[in-house]
Amino acid sequence: MLISNAYAQTAGAESGGLMGFIPLILMFVVLYFVMIRPQMKRQKEVRNMLEALSVGDEVVTVGGLMGKVTTLKDPYVTVELLPGTEVKMQKNAITAVLPKGTIKEI
């Protein structure tokens, strides 16, 4: 009469299965190369820098303090900021190792 019958459509080809995952896979590949890989590389560089740290190196700390390393113990390092002023801190508070002669004595 006035309302026609509604029939379910038959399933077509399975093109939507794999094609639906390709953008998701591409997004994870781009995420890996843009964010994850550079972060892992930076962590490796910092780990190598801290392992190569030795007495007499001139360093910069997280707080921006510059000084010379006087003693090294496994998790801690003592840094001389001025003659007679030493600070004991954790190794991972060091952000950079400066070239020798960067810090001038006052």
> On the CB side of 37, how many CA atoms lie within 13 Å of its CA?
7
- Asked if the structure places residue 28 within a domain, the reply is yes
Residues 86 and 62 both lie in one domain: yes
Q: What confidence tens digit (pLDDT) does each residue in 56-71 have? A: 999 999 999 999 999 9
The pTM of this model reads: 0.67
The residue ranking higher by pLDDT, 73 or 8, is: 73
- Asked if the structure places residue 106 within a domain, the reply is no
Q: What per-residue confidence (pLDDT) applies to 17?
A: 72
Question: Distance of alpha carbon 62 from its chain centroid, rounded?
Answer: 15
Residues 21 and 47 both lie in one domain: yes
- Asked if the structure places residue 6 within a domain, the reply is no
Mean pLDDT value across residues 38-62: 94
Q: Rounded CA gap, 2 and 14, in Å?
A: 35
Q: CATH number of the domain at 73, please.
A: 2.30.30
Q: Which range (5-14, 38-47, 67-76, 89-98) has the least confidence? A: 5-14
Q: Are strands 76-82 and 58-61 parallel, antiparallel or unpaired?
A: unpaired
**Is the distance from CB of 49 to CB of 60 less than 8 angstroms?**
no
Structural domain of 68: 55-98
pLDDT at 31 over 70: yes
Domains identified in the chain, total number: 2
